[in-house]
Amino acid sequence: AMWGLAFKPETDDMREAPSLVLIDKLLNAGCKVCAYDPVAMNECKKRVGDRICYAGNMYEAVLDADVMLLVTEWQEFRLPSWAVIKKTMNRPIVFDGRNIYEKEELENLGFTYSCIGK
């Protein structure tokens, strides 16, 4: 699952968005990608097409997911219901690409947590 597609929050701008590189690498590795972004999904569809699935909300994106990647730090991603997420994921693994979550909190809830630069 991928949360965030735009290169920064509050825009649909996909120019040089890290999500595009990640999507290509994940698809080339044989992964199925389901993504959600509050604004940039239509722009992503123009670039990526139907090679990935597009979720209606952040919880739908993590349904049956093996890992959740936070790519863009939209406000709505800051305080998710981790209990709901843990119940719906295949494996409770979170990769925080924006360092907005607390490692200790997620690990105490039973998640495997990784981030960049901490």
Domain span holding position 108: 2-115
- Which pLDDT does position 118 carry in this prediction? 65
For 38-59, how does the pLDDT look when each residue is reduced to its tens digit (9 = 90+)? 999 999 999 999 999 999 999 9
What's the CATH number where 104 sits? 3.40.50.720
The CA–CA distances, whole Å, from 95 to 9, 13, 43, 91, 99 equal: 18, 22, 24, 12, 9
- What is this structure's pTM? 0.95
- Count of domains in the chain? 1
